[in-house]
Amino acid sequence: MTAGAPARDIRLAFVGEAKAIAALIERAYRGDEALKSWTTEAHILTGPRTDLEEIKALLSDPKSRFVVATEGDALAACALIRDEGGVGYFGMFAVRPDLQGAKLGRTMLDAAERYARDLWRVPQMYMTVINLREDLIAYYERRGYRRTGEQKPFPFADGMGAARRDFHLAVLRKDLA
């Protein structure tokens, strides 16, 4: 934490925080504020990134948790972790755009890995990243994730627009031992 930075609490989310989590994810990936951020997907995708019902369903699933960082009463960051058959999954990672670049993302990623390992005893964590996002893939590689060569089709959904469709999801993995 940098000098003068407010203290942040990192913990598992409560079901009642679904609306705030959905809003944070939208803010980080889609809104006007996201256009100024390196995490934006606006040049690739339009429409909502998630919705309240999806977040509520994930928070109700015993194999899913959201790790959140709070700053006072407000969410500063969130990340989804899941136990997928004995392997951890990491996704829906969002840091408030005005807090990006202050190492909160790195702290959140470390916390998500710890929670997944402690909750489910998973030996590995994996994630999927749009293959066009080389800057984002490089960020995760600097944190120990490696490209597996595995590809998954992007799950284009109703209500989601795509400025282009020439991409897929790249799978990255990291040993948590």
DSSP 64-130: EEEEEEEETTEEEEEEEEEESSSSEEEEEEEE-GGGTTSSHHHHHHHHHHHHHHHHH--SEEEEEEE
pTM of the model: 0.88
- The per-residue pLDDT of the chain, averaged, comes to 87
- For 78-103, the pLDDT digits (tens) are 999 999 999 999 999 999 988 888 88
CATH tag for 9-175 (out of 3.40.630.30, 3.20.20.210, 3.40.50.170, 1.10.3430.10): 3.40.630.30
Q: What CA–CA distance (Å, rounded) separates 154 from 151?
A: 9
The predicted pLDDT at position 36 comes to 64
Write out pLDDT tens, residues 16-72. Answer: 999 999 999 988 877 666 656 666 666 677 667 788 999 999 999 999 999 999 988
Residue 156 has pLDDT above 90, yes or no: no
Predicted confidence at residue 25, as pLDDT, reads: 92
pLDDT at 157 over 90: no
| Residue 148, pLDDT above cutoff 60 | yes
